[in-house]
Chains A and B, each alone.
Chain A
Amino acid sequence: MNDRRGALFGFGLSAVGSVGFVIAYWTDAGSRWLGAALSAALLGFGVGLISWSKAIDDGDAVEQRHSLAADDAEVDALSASLSRTSELTDRRSLLAAVGAAVVALGAMIVVPLRSLGPRPKGIGATPWRAGRRLVTSDGRPVDPGRVGADGLLTVYPEGAQQDGNGAVIVVRLPVEQLSRRTIDGGAVDGIVAYSKICTHAGCAVGLFQADSRRPDVIHRLLCPCHQSEFDPADGARPVAGPATRSLAQLPLTVDADGNLVATDGFDRPVGPASWTWP
């Protein structure tokens, strides 16, 4: 009897919920009301059906299983049908021929997939060239004075700000912390620039871990996706996490107007590596 009452309650709730949904939709009552009403309509219907089925449940039924395997006569008949090959006078060469034709058909069918994309080239290429200025996202050139300590500036190649591989991070470090090769790689007054595209999986390296209270602590660039860390004082070599390759360094100088400018492009492609990379 309880199940009967449950069923009545469920179907009643369901009807109320359905009406409620229409009202909520009509009055543009928002996601919560729509969700609540729809949920009541469906949950109520489910409770109703399940309660009803319990009310009429008359206990377990038993069904016998039968062996799935066909009997020997059936198996023999199928086998005989399948091996009905007497009309193939030269089975071997015909099989080879049909096999070759099937392989050729298969190969033919996948060929148009070639249209999906160009021959892979220029993976990780960037618009950076000698003399290209560094600009911020609003297109303004970068005065070295704007690059503060403990901060990270994202800049783009002027005239190609939208390029997906061109983003560069600029940081200022105490000059005495920079390694020889970092200075030779094109640092200006402790300002260094590296590709922002992580060499591990291509995310944008973003976080600059710096502690202004402890300037002796090495600052690190951190990729938020898989937490690879790079040492900007030493050519952005990977120091923790899964990355195996340094972020490419962009050689810098200051132009006649006093703004940061690249003296060359990157010396290698940026972003994640692939098979043909040395």
Chain B
Amino acid sequence: MSDTRPAPVDVIRSATERTGTTGGLARALDKVFPRHASFLWGEIALYCFVVLLASGTYLALFFDASQAPTTYDGPYGPLQGVEVSHAYASVMRLSFEVRAGLVIRQIHHWAALLFVASIVLHMMRVFFTGAFRKPREINWVLGCTLLLLGLAMGFTGYSLPDDSLSGTGLRIADSVVLSIPVAGEWVSSLLFGGSWPSTIIVSRLFPIHVFVLPLALLGLIGGHLALVWRQKHTQFDGPGRTEDNVVGERVWPGFAMKSIGMLSLTAGTLAALGGFAQINPIWLYGPYDPAASSADAQPDWYIGWLEGALRLMPPLEIRAFGYTVPNPFFPGVLLPGLMFGALYGVPWIERRFTQDHRVHHLLDRPRDAPVRTAIGVAALSVVGVLLLAGAQDVIADTLSVPLATVRRLLQIGLLLVPAASGWFTFRLARSLARRDDPSVVEIRRGDSGGYAERPEASSR
């Protein structure tokens, strides 16, 4: 070939003739992303969201958000002739009669579970490495909001089929709303269109789930990514890595290929789960009936800690001046309010104690900040104990231990486990950090009787 010009030149020229710019694409393609595996969680969360949008759009084409009664006459025998809502019937039709409907429905549900899980893991990475520090406080706040929106997405989504499990979940949600001081009764009435049982809640949750929340998520994810792009990624310390550079792979072609590859792997994993792992079989739960709640009914995992908090709360309510603050207020409103308040405040709370106003692009290892790491582990263990409590009846049943014993142990555990795990983590992190500290030299007495530095300690 005699033509020595790179192939795309003509295309680029023709594009710039029309837009007047190369769009900064050259710089974008040269951008460098770090390679560390812990950075994948945010990407996976994003790709779960992509799968959610695609699969959810398909589901929405078949869903009927009406709670008007109809008689089920589909192919699922045990429910034939049973009065169900149109919403429930449409999900049944999607699961049994629409070809590929069930697999896409199950992919959607699994994607929701993994979406929240990967957000949580991503936040753990950011927290334990101190990536939330200046200049990334805004992105921490956006991330906390994305977690909240993810929870809201999950709850509004699994409430749509109007089955026994989701109806019971909504009933509990209503009791939490009712428990809000002063405004609770009004908020409940406006939300559910009157007092329980609601006949329109599904038709209200539907536009929230498919329009309002996805739009908010899209906007905030856009802002989140734009800030990452602008601020560039953090990176762990290492040879050649400083506060002033980013070492890793260029966007084009390596990172782009790997990232699209991750999208494919995420979607492929979700497809396998959707095909082989049954989830939310609403035909086994049956339609919602306010007079029936079944035992070992579990919400999706990311709501389980709230369910656990409701279960462990001692029987306490406040009655004064003719008004009442009912029991669910404390575990259902106050506790999550405090927890999310603390989560949002992380960058500012830490700064208050460290007085560290510097810009950080190099990450801490968890051992480098023992107090932060200990607090993080303690906070996670709170959620862990609450999550276990969300299954206390199943635990009692499986282990043949009286329920009262399990509840009491979990209540004690809720106080002790965070303290113990925090203390243990602090000690562990500090000793690991000391081991790595080059200024600490271990002297040992050798076999010959002389003293020597331990070689591996001194070589660090």
Contact = CB atoms under 8 A, between A and B. Distances in A.
Interface of A: 25, 28, 31-36, 38-50, 52-53, 56-57, 60-65, 68, 113-114, 116-125, 154, 156, 164-165, 167, 196-197, 200-204, 206-207, 223-228, 238, 240-245, 271-278
Contact of A224 (B102, B135, B297, B359): B297
Nearest to A58: B254
A228 to B, nearest CB: 8
Contact of B293 (A39, A53, A225, A245): A225
Interface stretch (B169-177, B209-217, B368-376): B169-177
B119 interface: no
Interface in B237-287: 240, 243-250, 253-255, 257-258, 260-265, 267-269, 271-276
Given A44-B268, A65-B245, 7 more contacts: A35-B107, A45-B268, A47-B265, A61-B250, A203-B168, A206-B295, A225-B293
Contacts of A48: 261
Nearest to B312: A242
Interface of B: 30-32, 35, 99-100, 102-103, 106-107, 135, 168, 171-172, 174-176, 178-186, 188-197, 230-232, 240, 243-250, 253-255, 257-258, 260-265, 267-269, 271-276, 289-297, 307, 310-317, 319, 322-328, 331, 359, 361, 392-393, 403-404, 407
A248 to B, nearest CB: 15
Given A34-B100, A39-B275, A156-B291, A114 B179 contact: no
A117 B307 CA distance: 27
A125 B195 CA distance: 9
- Report whether over half of chain A's contact residues are helix, strand or loop; otherwise say mixed: loop
B269 A244 contact: no
A117 to B, nearest CB: 4
B392 to A, nearest CB: 7
B405 to A, nearest CB: 11
A118 B188 CA distance: 10
Contacts of A207: 295
A273 B328 CA distance: 9
A241 to B, nearest CB: 7
A242 B178 contact: no
Nearest to A200: B327
Contacts of A271: 175, 196
8 contacts: A38-B271, A40-B268, A43-B269, A61-B250, A63-B246, A68-B359, A202-B174, A243-B327
A228 B313 CA distance: 11
Contact of B276 (A35, A113, A203, A276): A35
B232 A242 contact: no
A244 B249 contact: no
Contacts of B262: 46, 50
A227 B407 contact: yes
B257 A223 contact: no
Contact of B326 (A28, A35, A277): A277
Contacts of A204: 289-293
Given A120-B195, A123-B195, A207-B295, A28 B310 contact: no
A106 B66 CA distance: 32
B180 to A, nearest CB: 8
B189 A117 contact: yes
Contacts of A227: 311, 392-393, 403, 407
Contact of A39 (B171, B271, B310): B271
Contacts of A116: 190-191, 193
Contacts of A31: 102-103, 106, 274-275
A36 B257 contact: no
A42 B106 contact: no
A207 B404 CA distance: 15
B313 A242 contact: yes
B272 A36 contact: yes
B327 A53 contact: no
Nearest to A52: B257
B172 A202 contact: yes
A31 B292 CA distance: 31
Contacts of B404: 240
Given A35-B275, A243-B315, A200 B175 contact: yes
A43 B185 contact: no
Contacts of B269: 39, 43
Contact of A276 (B103, B185, B189): B185
Contact of B319 (A41, A164, A242, A278): A278
Contact of B271 (A42, A62, A244): A42
B324 A273 contact: yes
Nearest to B240: A62
Contact of B258 (A50, A122, A154, A202): A50
Contact of B291 (A43, A44, A125, A196): A196
Nearest to B176: A201
B315 to A, nearest CB: 5
B328 A118 contact: no
A125 B197 CA distance: 11
B179 A226 contact: no
Contact of B315 (A35, A47, A50, A244): A244
A35 to B, nearest CB: 1
Contacts of B263: 46
A124 B324 CA distance: 15
Nearest to A155: B291
Nearest to B188: A120
Contacts of B307: 225-226
Given A60-B247, A65-B245, A164-B197, A42 B192 contact: no
